[in-house]
């Protein structure tokens, strides 16, 4: 006699089976995200500023859209130069390190293009890779780096900035997902 299991029963039996060879086939991240990609986060479009813009206009733009990071692009080549971390910028303004009339270039974090390989984050990047990007203290070459708080989402060729995904976006996605 043949017995049929529901999909959930089969899944539970497979995960709990003591005679299954090797570790579980899915990681805790894969279980958490279930195949979701960066596109499922629905990241807002990136708000970019020029390095020559005054800090006051960048602050105003970030407040209007409730953004914590702004990308900084070249006004002539439209290439990505770095980013502006708004919480850090607020601290710099309090300390007097920069003034609101200063250009964005005085407060921006520049990308170190000489350092080597970048991890490209696109709309098709699985969320488990995005979480690993946020949590890892190693760059793609194995070098030491700080944990990342946000990711610039680009097209596969890295020609266009499509949005910015933050660690908070990822956490919110997990909370609202059934």
**In-domain check, residue 161:** yes
- CATH number of the CATH domain containing 75: 3.10.580.10
Residue 13's pLDDT band, with cuts at 50, 70 and 90, is very low
For residue 35, what pLDDT is reported? Answer: 86
For residue 49, what pLDDT is reported? Answer: 93
For residue 67, what pLDDT is reported? Answer: 87
Of the listed ranges 88-102, 132-146, 150-164, the least confidently predicted one is 132-146
For the beta carbon of residue 38, count every other beta carbon within 10 angstroms: 24
**In-domain check, residue 4:** no
Q: Count structural domains, the chain.
A: 1
Write the pLDDT tens digit of every residue in 72-122.
998 888 788 888 999 999 999 999 999 999 999 999 988 776 665 678 899
Write the pLDDT tens digit of every residue in 36-75.
999 999 888 888 999 999 999 999 999 998 888 899 998 8
Domain range spanning residue 84? 38-176
For residue 105, what pLDDT is reported? Answer: 94
**In-domain check, residue 108:** yes
Both tokens of residue 26?
């899915």
Q: How far apart are CA 47 and CA 33, in angstroms?
A: 27
For residue 44, what pLDDT is reported? Answer: 81
**In-domain check, residue 80:** yes
**In-domain check, residue 29:** no
**In-domain check, residue 118:** yes
Both tokens of residue 83?
């980013």
Average pLDDT, the chain: 79
Left (φ > 0), alpha (ψ -120 to 50) or beta: where does 42 sit?
Answer: left
- 7 pLDDT higher than 60: no
**In-domain check, residue 14:** no
The span from the first CA to the last CA of the chain, in angstroms, equals 37
For residue 24, what pLDDT is reported? Answer: 36
DSSP structure string for the chain: ------HHHHHHHHHH-TT--SS-SS-HHHHHHTT-BHHHH-PPPP-EE-TTSBHHHHHHHHHHHT-SEEEEE-TTT--EEEEEEHHHHHHHHHHTSS-TTSBGGGTPEEP-GGG-----B-TTSBHHHHHHHHH-SB-TTS-B-PPPSEEEEE-TTS-SEEEEEEHHHHHHHHHH--
């Amino acid at each position: 006699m043949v017995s049929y299991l529901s999909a959930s029963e089969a899944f539970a039996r497979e995960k709990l089976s003591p005679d299954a060879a090797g570790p579980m086939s899915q990681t805790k991240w894969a279980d958490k995200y279930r195949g979701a990609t960066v596109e499922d986060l629905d990241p807002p479009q990136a708000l970019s500023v020029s390095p020559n813009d005054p800090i006051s206009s960048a602050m105003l733009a970030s407040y209007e859209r409730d953004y914590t990071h702004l990308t900084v692009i070249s006004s002539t080549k439209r290439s990505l130069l770095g980013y502006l971390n708004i919480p850090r910028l607020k601290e710099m303004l309090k300390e007097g390190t920069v003034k609101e009339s200063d250009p964005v270039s005085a407060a921006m974090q520049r990308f170190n293009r000489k350092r080597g390989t970048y991890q490209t984050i696109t709309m098709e990047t699985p969320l488990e890779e995005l979480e690993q990007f946020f949590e890892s203290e190693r760059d793609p070459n194995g070098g030491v780096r700080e944990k990342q708080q946000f990711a610039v989402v680009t097209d596969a060729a890295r020609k266009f900035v499509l949005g910015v995904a933050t660690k908070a976006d990822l956490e919110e996605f997990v909370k609202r997902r059934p």
